[in-house]
């Protein structure tokens, strides 16, 4: 039977995934600040409280540490909570529960328990929300064994990866770039999953590999289209999962193109691009490189409020075009 495919926004795809999960499994419930009647800070939960009731779409007090603790505890009892942070920045208030509890419980108790909690993090800049509401902290959590960290870039993937996350026995952290919420794309009806830990080659190319995450995937594709007119053929890999990282797809691509550019919004130093670069440097793909690996990340400053300064702190399409052009032409 053919599955209908519609155009949904990224936010609608998330809402649909949560509704399907709640319909199929009564253990699934939602937690977060203002996710009930208000529908969520970014209107992602929408009318789910009307459909499923306040016992399964729970407004929490303004205490990220407390909310995360309840979510972890609920997961330990066999429930499957989906906990929304209003902004990913607020994870800093709940690191005890995320890093010391959720990530470690299964290991410290000899595999006798699992922590099937999903935590959602609206992330990234571009909304004029300033330094405490605009960060990209996925590399922080990607550093922690026991956590799975994902960054879906399309409506199709965010629905499928969220459904995969709900079914996963381990804690899954999902970073959703705020500028993607209104982006539309094809999304199949019904239940489907997109595997956690598998990158996607969004564009085939022969001259240079760009590995990008989240919204930078779309900027990289735009840059690749612009450079095609100059005769530079770029392969674009959507990493999708920060941990566990699909290093083999990257290695295979670099063997083909012999050049690598890593593009991500978070601060360049110790960011995801460093791990991608190391994975290639430590593999046999290193011998295929015709130029040094290049990282294009965010500036080494907190995100400014001023819109022009904010834009200047993270890679934009012209920055990616310039870096890729120089790398492809041997100027790097």
DSSP annotation of 74 reads H
Q: What is the dihedral of CA 36, 124, 240, 67, to 10 degrees?
A: -40
Q: CA 303 from chain center: how many Å? A: 19
Is 133 an active-site residue?
A: yes
246 close to 279: Cβ distance less than 8 angstroms: no
Give the DSSP letter string of 115-129.
---EEEEEE-SSSS-
As to burial, measured by CB atoms within 10 angstroms (0-12 exposed, 13-18 middle, 19+ buried), residue 62 is: exposed
Cα distance between residue 137 and residue 121, in whole Å: 9
Residue 192 backbone zone (phi > 0: left; psi -120 to 50: alpha; other: beta): beta
Q: CA 284 from chain center: how many Å? A: 28
65 close to 94: Cβ distance less than 8 angstroms: yes
Q: What angle do CA 81, 82, 85 make, to 5 degrees?
A: 130
Q: Which helix (H) or strand (E) holds 68?
A: helix 64-76
Cα distance between residue 46 and residue 42, in whole Å: 9
Set 16, 33, 84, 133: catalytic member: 133
Set 64, 138, 265, 310: catalytic member: 64
Is 55 an active-site residue?
A: no
Q: Are strands 28-32 and 5-9 parallel, antiparallel or unpaired?
A: unpaired
Active site (catalytic) residues = 64, 133
């Amino acid at each position: 039977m053919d599955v209908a495919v519609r155009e949904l926004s990224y936010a609608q795809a998330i809402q649909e995934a949560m509704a399907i999960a709640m319909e199929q499994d009564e253990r699934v419930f939602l937690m977060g600040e203002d996710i009930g009647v208000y529908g969520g800070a970014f209107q992602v939960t929408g009318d789910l409280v009307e459909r499923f009731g306040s016992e399964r779409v729970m407004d929490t007090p303004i205490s990220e540490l407390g909310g995360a603790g309840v979510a972890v505890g609920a997961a330990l009892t066999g429930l499957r909570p989906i906990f929304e942070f209003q902004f990913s920045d607020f994870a800093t208030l709940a690191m005890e529960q995320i890093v010391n509890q959720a990530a470690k419980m299964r290991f410290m108790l000899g595999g006798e328990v699992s922590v099937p909690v999903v935590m959602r993090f609206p992330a990234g800049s571009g909304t004029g929300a300033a330094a405490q509401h605009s960060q990209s902290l996925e590399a922080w959590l990607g550093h922690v064994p026991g956590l799975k960290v994902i960054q879906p870039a399309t409506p199709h993937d965010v629905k499928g990866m969220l459904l995969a996350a709900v079914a996963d026995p381990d804690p899954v952290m999902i970073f959703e770039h705020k500028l993607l919420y209104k982006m539309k794309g094809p999304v199949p009806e019904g239940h489907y999953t997109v595997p956690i830990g598998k990158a996607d080659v969004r564009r085939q190319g022969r001259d240079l590999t760009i590995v990008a995450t989240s919204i930078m995937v779309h900027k990289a594709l735009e840059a690749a289209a612009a450079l095609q007119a100059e005769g530079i053929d770029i392969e674009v890999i959507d990493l999708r999962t920060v941990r566990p990282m699909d290093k083999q797809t990257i290695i295979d691509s670099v063997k083909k193109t012999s050049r690598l550019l890593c593009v991500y919004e978070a601060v360049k130093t110790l960011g995801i691009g460093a791990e991608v670069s190391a994975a290639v440097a430590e593999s046999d793909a290193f011998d295929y490189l015709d130029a040094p690996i290049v990282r294009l990340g965010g500036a080494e400053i907190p995100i400014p409020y001023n819109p022009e300064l904010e834009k200047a702190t993270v890679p934009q399409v012209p920055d990616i075009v310039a870096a890729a052009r120089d790398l492809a032409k041997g100027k790097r």
